[in-house]
Amino acid sequence: MSNAKINITNLRLRTFIGFNPEEREKQQDVVINIEIHYPASLSAQTDDVNNALNYKTVTKKVIQHVEEGRFLLLEKLVSDILEIGCEHPWVRYCQVKVDKPHALRFADSVSLTLESHLEERQ
């Protein structure tokens, strides 16, 4: 069985993230990285789009959710994106990392990573 690993790298979006007054009034940049694993034997053999996980669909859902949302905590934002990444029944593993650039004065960014192992799915 061939296992595919999709990487959506450095998806740059803007959203309301944080609980300080200025963070709740002004959108901030976030940088999103998503890794999704799924079995790809059928898509590799058939070259049929219906047998592949559509990363464009996943990305569109993430963009809509992030840009339209308001989040107090990075944990909630990352958890929501992870849930979107795991929606398709073929997904066996998903990892989401979100960076919040310039969150700390002397750091390039602060990031949070969550992952889900879904090996038991049929």
Of 120, 118, 122, 99, the closest CA to residue 36 belongs to 118
Q: Assess if residue 104 is contained within a domain.
A: yes
Instruction: Beginning with the edge strand found earlier in the chain, give each strand of the sheet holding 109-117 in spatial order.
Output: 70-71, 3-17, 28-39, 93-101, 109-117
Structural domain boundaries, residue 33: 3-117
CA gap 2, 40 in Å, rounded: 5
56 CB-near residues (< 8 Å, 6+ apart): none
Residue 122 forms part of a structural domain: no
Query: How many folded domains does the chain comprise?
Result: 1
What is the reported pTM?
Answer: 0.91
How does pLDDT run across 17-62, given as a tens digit for each residue?
988 888 788 999 999 999 999 998 777 667 777 778 899 999 999 9
Tell me the per-residue pLDDT of 51-65, one tens digit each, with 9 for 90 and over.
788 999 999 999 999
- Find the CATH number of the domain harbouring 39: 3.30.1130.10
Whether residue 57 lies inside any domain: the answer is yes
